[in-house]
Each structure stands twice: as C-alpha cells, then as structure tokens.
Structure 1
C-alpha cells in the first residue's frame, strides 16, 4: 500500500503587485492556517517519507510549516518544477517518478490542478479544494507508476474552515 497526501498551499498575498506570481508569500491567514493544519494532520498520520513541492514561494512556505510539525528539516523538501500550476498530467508525471521505497508522499501544489487530480484519481466530485486543504488517498499498489491502475480510497479531506480552525 502507498499513501498520497495532496496539500493545496495556504492563502497567499496579492499585496505587492510588483511580485511575480511564483514569488507571492503567504498572507496573514495563510501563516495562521498552515501551522494549524500541519499540526492537525501530524496528530492523525505518520510522517510522510517524502515531501515534494512546487517551487513557488507560497507552496514552499506552506511546506515549511508541515516539515516543522513532522519534525523534519527544511532541506528534506524536494522541488518539482512540473508542480508549479501543473495539471493532472504534470502531477501524474511527478507521481510516477517517486522511488518505490517511499510508502507515503506529501505534495504541495496549486489549484485547479489539485482539485482536478483528486477528482480524476478518486472519482470524487469536489468542486474546489480550498487553500490549505489536504486530501489523503490510499493506493493499493507497491508501485507509484501503477497509481491509475490500482484501487484507491480517499482517507480524508480536511480544510481549515471545515475543521473550525480559525481563518479570520
């Protein structure tokens, strides 16, 4: 069995219009939600074997809170350019490159890719995974390359407002 955790980055700031999209930081709400979601998840799952992020600042900043909650080092975060605004195929390409020695993987990605990929993979009909939303999926395989040819089960779908984690 493999386990996949998909995390949409926390709320980002649009305050500085001179910044490129990939350089936008988390805003106040994002800085509040990310550590709360990370801690909530840490209490419910074991530490993922590998953490992979889009190279955008907001995904890396979100991932940093999760790494800290799981007692991992920032240097353990892997970057994948294909995850920067990646669609389902881009995410799939990254998934198929994961070493099979890793039993669990956590990806930090963007919308609409995360919502589309979760729906495609699980057959769910989630309208929109909100910022800092996390979906856990169990995969009945030992090979990340067989992710689409195995049984899948959504384990959970958490997001800050749905857990009454303060977002205001």
Structure 2
C-alpha cells in the first residue's frame, strides 16, 4: 500500500503585478490557512516519507508550513519543475519517479492539475480543490509506477472553509 497526499498551495497574492507568476507570495489568508491546515493534518496522518513541491514561491511557502508541523526543515523539500502548473501526466510522471522505499508522499501543486488528477485517480467528482485543500489517497500497490493501474481510494478531502480550525 502507498499513500499519496495532494496539497493545493495556499492563497497567493496578486498585489505586486510586476512579479512573475512563479514568484507570487502567499497573501494574508494564505499565511493564515497554510499553518492551520498543516497542524490539523499532522493530527490526522503520519509524517509522509517525502515532500515534493512545484518550484513556485507560493507552493514552497505552503510546503514549509507542513514541514515545520512535522518537525522537518526546508532542506527536506524536493522541488520538481514538472509540478509548476503541471497537468495530470506531469504529476503522474513525478509520482512514477518516486522510490518504492517511500510508502507515502505529499505533493504541493496547482490547480487545475490537482483537481483533475485527484478525480482521475479516485474516480471522484470533486468540483474544485480550493487553496490549502488536501486530498489523501490510498493506493493498493507497492509500486509507484503502477498507480494508474491499481485501486485508489480517497481517504479524506479537507479545505480551510470546510473546517472550524482554531487560529494559531
């Protein structure tokens, strides 16, 4: 069994229009929601074996909140260019590259790729995974390369507005 966690980056800022898309930081709501979701999820799941992020600033900033919640450092985060606005095939390619020594992985990615891939993998019909949303998926395989050929079951789907989270 493998477990995959898909995390959409927290809400980003459009305040500075001179920034490239990949350089946009989190806005006030994103800075509030990312640590709240990370702390909430720390209570729901074991620490994933690997953390992989799109190289965009907003996904890395989101990921750092999760790393800190699990007692890890930013240096524990792997960056993958293919996750920057990647589609389902790009996301799957990153997953296929995972070592089978890893039983669980968390990917910090963008929409629409996250929603499309979660729905494709689980046969669910999630309309839109909002910012800071997380989907946990259990995969009935021992080989990451076989994930599109195995049974995949949604374990959970959480997002900030759907939870009554305390302010940190």
Tell me what 1:60 maps to.
60
Instruction: Report runs of 4+ in structure 1 exceeding 2 Å deviation.
Output: 164-167
Taking a change above 3 Å as real, the CA distance of residues 166 and 14 of structure 1, as seen in their structure-2 partners, is farther
TM-score normalised according to structure 1 size:
0.98
Q: Report if aligned partners of 1:33, 1:166 keep a CA contact under 8 Å in 2.
A: no
User: How far, CA to CA, are the matches of 2:153 and 2:128 in structure 1?
Assistant: 19
User: How far, CA to CA, are the matches of 2:125 and 2:58 in structure 1?
Assistant: 26
User: How far, CA to CA, are the matches of 1:40 and 1:52 in structure 2?
Assistant: 20
Gaps of 5+ in 1: none
Alpha-carbon shift at residue 73 of structure 1 (Å) = 1.1
Alpha-carbon shift at residue 51 of structure 1 (Å) = 0.1
Tell me what 1:90 maps to.
90
Tell me what 2:144 maps to.
144
TM-score normalised according to structure 2 size:
0.98
Q: For 1:85-143, what per-residue CA distance to the aligned partner results, in whole angstroms no more than 9, with x for missing partners?
A: 00000000001000000000000000000000000000011110000000000001000
Matches within 5 A, 1:23-102: 23-102=23-102
Q: For 1:25-53, what per-residue CA distance to the aligned partner results, in whole angstroms no more than 9, with x for missing partners?
A: 00000000000000000011000000000
User: How far, CA to CA, are the matches of 1:164 and 1:25 in structure 2?
Assistant: 25
Tell me what 2:109 maps to.
109
Gaps of 5+ in 2: none
Alpha-carbon shift at residue 165 of structure 1 (Å) = 3.2
Q: How many residues align?
A: 167
SS of the residue 1:121 aligns to: helix
SS of the residue 2:154 aligns to: strand
Q: RMSD over aligned Cα, in angstroms?
A: 1.0
Alpha-carbon shift at residue 166 of structure 1 (Å) = 7.0
SS of the residue 1:141 aligns to: coil
